[in-house]
Amino acid sequence: MLPIVDKPLIQYAVEEAIAAGATKLVFVTGATKRAIADHFDADPELERALQVAGKEKLLQSIQGIVPKGVACIYIRQGEPLGLGHAVLCAKPAIGDEPFFVHLADDLIAGDPPCLRQMADEHDRHGGSVIATEHVPKSDTSSYGIVAVDEDDNNRIHQMVEKPAPEDAPSDLAVVGRYLLNPRVFDKLETIERGAGGEIQLTDAIAELLPEEAVYAYSFSGTRYDCGSKLGYLEACVDFGLNHPETGEAFRKHLKGMDL
Ligand code: G1P
């Protein structure tokens, strides 16, 4: 629910998913995360009050949070057993079709939005698609790291969760966007706990690699790791500078600072 300028991160995630054609949004949350469901609920009382007060612009902004025709499903992950486990919790709501996984703390500014780019990539050659970017070798232990076959559309042939730099197969890191075929659920159901004692999505995908094509996709855009203090601050500054209401005055403010 951390806001970037005027919207919480989870809303950026929802808007990106809808722009990529998603019509069913499955939120997997932990205990105490009720604010997320509350945020996307309609609020008829507030809507009436804004209407009476003639606050049209505000009224439209809250009515547009989840467009008509898009369903929201909320699932609780009973125990924090890892990203792979969180994705497995969504299985009953997903069924037998390709699906996106969006980790909302990775905010990506892209045009078209990152998930849209990935859906287009999927249309080109099928298979699962994972967004990646190069990271400093010293940072590999914070990411899933892949090795790809560049002559085959960057098909992934190795994938390791959070390897030490000396064990990393490359410097190509997974970021928080995946377009996955549902067979990954079979793997998630059987894998053992991995790095950090958690059920890792990376390990399930790694088991799929010999059986199905999974491609690494270098998205166009800028990623902000809003799970880190610096990434969050960078996102606030860049989005503030690009925002139609705040951009000009904020730029002036920053220029006037004695840095
Ligand atoms: C998760 C994944 C990791 C991926 C990262 C991207 O890690 O397990 O493979 O590189 O997201 O943000 P987390 O950041 O949740 O530890």
Strand 222-225, strand 106-109: pairing = antiparallel
Q: Is residue 173 part of a domain?
A: yes
Q: Is the pLDDT of residue 258 over 90?
A: no
What is the per-residue pLDDT for 61?
Answer: 75
Is 259 contained in some domain? no
pLDDT above 90: residue 222: yes
For residue 16, what are the contacts with CB-CB under 8 A and spacing of at least 6?
A: 102, 108, 113, 114, 115, 116
Q: Which atom of ligand 1 is nearest to the CA of 174?
A: 10
CA distances from 37 to 33, 43, 85 (A): 8, 12, 20
Mean pLDDT of 16-33: 92
Question: Does 75 sit in the ligand 1 pocket, CB within 6 Å?
Answer: no
Is 245 contained in some domain?
Answer: no
User: Is 117 touching ligand 1 by the criterion CB < 6 Å?
Assistant: no
* Rounded CA separation 241/252 (Å): 10
Q: For ligand 1, pick from 9, 28, 83 the residue to mutate: most ligand atoms within 8 Å of CB.
A: 83
User: Does residue 242 lie within any of the structural domains?
Assistant: no
Residue 91 has pLDDT above 90, yes or no: yes
Tracing tokens 């998630």 back to the chain, one arrives at 188
pLDDT at 60: 79
Residue 61 lies in a domain: yes
Residue range of the domain that includes 17: 3-227
Q: What are phi and psi of 124, to 5 degrees?
A: -70, -40
Distance 175 CA to ligand 1 centre (A): 7
Q: Is the CB of 175 under 6 A from ligand 1?
A: yes
Q: Is residue 170 part of a domain?
A: yes
The domain that holds 145 is classified in CATH as 3.90.550.10
- Amino acid 64: pLDDT: 67
With a 6 Å cutoff on the Cβ, whether 143 touches ligand 1 is yes
The residues with which 71 forms a beta bridge, in sequence order, are 24
- Structural domains in the chain (count): 1
Q: How far is the CA of 224 from the centre of ligand 1 (A)?
A: 13
The answer, yes or no, to whether residue 75 has pLDDT greater than 90, is yes
124-169, pLDDT tens digit by residue?
Answer: 999 999 999 999 999 999 999 999 999 999 999 999 999 999 999 9
Predicted confidence (pLDDT) at residue 47 exceeds the cutoff of 90: no
Q: Is residue 253 part of a domain?
A: no
Tell me what the pLDDT averaged over the chain comes to: 94
Lowest mean pLDDT among 30-44, 70-84, 87-101, 123-137: 30-44
- How much is the pTM? 0.93
Residue 234 lies in a domain: no
Per residue in 102-114, pLDDT tens? 999 999 999 999 9
